[in-house]
Structure 1
Amino acid sequence: MLAPKRSKYKTIFIRKSLSNKAKSPILNFGSQGIFSKEMGRISSKQIEATRKFLRRNLKKQAKIWINIFPSKMITKKPQEVRMGKGKGYVKYWAYFIKKNEILFEVKGLNQLVIKKSLISSKYKLPVKSGLLTKYKN
């Protein structure tokens, strides 16, 4: 699972993202990619599940780039614990997605297979996402 190797503090305060600016998504590495259509939070398990799904479908036909990394820790107190006594333990690591941010990029020879696998991998993500293509077919 994806998580930072070290963090400066045991727990952190998560600040709300105020920037809701919709930049147009641009592919940097691959020829096709998945971008988010709304703001949200994606956990490291969801990133890993999407990566595994793409790797299984594409095998060695394509190169995959993951443009996001879970850097914020999400804490949770155990059930039936009284209020107070600190913040709680780290439950999982997450990444806060902005609108129109590219999540995954893929480059390969067979564009049709890549497109089908990207469309089916969108359902592994917790936010609405779209498909982006560099070349027009």
Structure 2
Amino acid sequence: MAMMPKRVKYRKSQKGRVKGNATRGNYVAFGEYGLQSLVPGRVSAEVIEASRMVLSRAVRVGGGKVYIRVFPHKSITSIPAETRMGKGKGEVDYWAAIVKPGTVLFEVAGIPEARARAAFARVAYKLPVTCRFVTRRPTL
């Protein structure tokens, strides 16, 4: 089952625009390696679930841990094909996470860097946004 909020104040949300870079959630906080977005976009709950399955399969052997840093809060609506104009806004089609450039989407800990790179390459192929591999910054 794909992720979605338990409750929302309003069922349907406006489209909005993704402007600027991420100021929060833009560094590796929990794991050792992360996958960071380079462009703005929407990542659906189904894509997040597919990415989670790929990462958990890669981490399972070494006994590492997967951290998902995004959650699909925004409802995306659509109207059926070949429907006449009017009749209001369409029904909720899916839930998506709004991603700004710089947002860390996933993190892993407890596995070697080579295996983390390979796993994140498979995940990045599934994502609708361009991503890069990042590591945790050393703390002084």
Q: TM-score, normalised by structure 1?
A: 0.89
Specify the alignment match of 1:113 in structure 2.
Answer: 115
Preserved contact between residue 43 and residue 97 of structure 2 (Cα < 8 Å): yes
Q: Distance in 1 between matches of 2:84 and 2:22?
A: 42
For structure 1, the residue ranges without an aligned partner over 5 or more in a row are none
Q: 5+ residue gaps in structure 2?
A: none
Which amino acid in the other structure matches residue 130 of structure 1? R
Deviation at 1:10, TM superposition (A): 2.6
Give the root-mean-square deviation of aligned CA atoms. Answer: 1.9
Corresponding position of 1:76: 78
Question: What percentage of aligned pairs have identical amino acids?
Answer: 38
Distance 1:99 1:59, change over 3 A: same
Please, what TM-score do these two structures have when normalized by structure 2?
0.87
Where do residues 91-106 of structure 1 align in structure 2 (5 Å cutoff)?
A: 91-106=93-108
Aligned to 1:46: 47
Name the residue aligned to 1:15.
16
1:108·1:114 contact (CA, 8 Å) conserved in 2?
Answer: no
Distance 1:114 1:21, change over 3 A: closer
Tell me how many residue pairs correspond in the alignment: 135
Secondary structure, aligned partner of 2:129 = coil
Question: How far 1:22 sits from its partner (Å)?
Answer: 6.0
